[in-house]
Amino acid sequence: MAENNSDPKSEKGIHTDFRDDMTYGDYLQLDSILSSQKRLSSHHDEMLFIIIHQVSELWMKLILHELTSAIQAIQADKMQAAFKMLARVTKIQTQIIQAWDVLSTLTPAEYLEFRDTLGKASGFQSYQYRQIEFALGYKTKHILKIYEQDTALYEQLEKANNAPSIYDVSIQALAKAGFTLNPAVVKRDYSVTYGGDKTVADAWKEVYLNVDKYWNLYQLAEKLVDVEDWLQQWRFRHMKTVERIIGFKTGTGGSSGVNYLRKVLDHRFFPELWDLRTNL
């Protein structure tokens, strides 16, 4: 009889004594992670609701890790490293988008069974999502009031709100490459959402008309477009999932729900990179 290679017994070198060694579960701290799903109701589907949001927050932590490092890499003229990080961000975004497909299996009737137990807690309060918006350049200082009860978190978010976004450092990369840009754009108040500038638009247009000469800047621009494209798809799936489950009800955190999510779809993080598609 042929040996069954899928049988662990056939693997003579497998370690089984972990009295003095770290296990897989130890390394990943699975005891802590897998004991963090605490339902506030007895309803079966609350477990789905909790896990989807926890998994999304873990992916967002990785997005922030990559975006922060990409910003630093661009500032240090390490473009290839930044490209790898931004490519990873877009792959992570596809995973978060697919999470909405799983959550959409929750029906309105099922959600109503435990929605009231959430109180005023809402995904609107996700501080990691705010940090991602800040890193991409969408600054909303008034939102920080939500986090005032946690001094350390508030200071962390305020610092992120005042820091240059990935588009700010990309504009600075244009200036380093010799493009003549409006000085008020190159050195500006980073706590204010960027609104666009003709000199920046002209510079990006020149990059796209001379791809070989400005290959790194061209690659950077396309990576940024990828990130925004996937973020907007995430926002759209979020909106449709919310509409599917609660319709046009007010969100648990007090937002207008679907109407708010529709409004943010109109915001563009990197306006010149989208406008040049028309202007080339």
Give the other-Cβ count within 10 Å of 194's Cβ: 21
| Cα-Cα end-to-end distance for the chain | 68
- Burial of 156 by CB count in 10 Å (0-12 exposed, 13-18 middle, 19+ buried)? middle
- Confirm whether residue 49 is marked as ligand binding: yes
- Confirm whether residue 238 is marked as ligand binding: yes
- Confirm whether residue 142 is marked as ligand binding: no
Do residues 4 and 10 make contact, with C-beta atoms less than 8 angstroms apart? yes
- Confirm whether residue 115 is marked as ligand binding: yes
Q: How far apart are CA 25 and CA 33, in angstroms?
A: 10
- Confirm whether residue 53 is marked as ligand binding: yes
- Confirm whether residue 43 is marked as ligand binding: no
- H or E, element range at 259: helix 258-264
Closest by CA to 258, choosing from 234, 242, 235, 245, is: 242
- Burial of 200 by CB count in 10 Å (0-12 exposed, 13-18 middle, 19+ buried)? buried
Q: How far apart are CA 227 and CA 188, in angstroms?
A: 23
Q: How far apart are CA 132 and CA 71, in angstroms?
A: 12
Helix axes 46-75, 127-136, angle to 10 degrees: 30
Residue 147, both tokens: 């986090």
Give the other-Cβ count within 10 Å of 238's Cβ: 22
- Binding-site residue ranges: 49-53, 111, 115, 238, 252
- Binding-site residue ranges for substrate: 49-53, 111, 115, 252
- Binding-site residue ranges for heme: 238
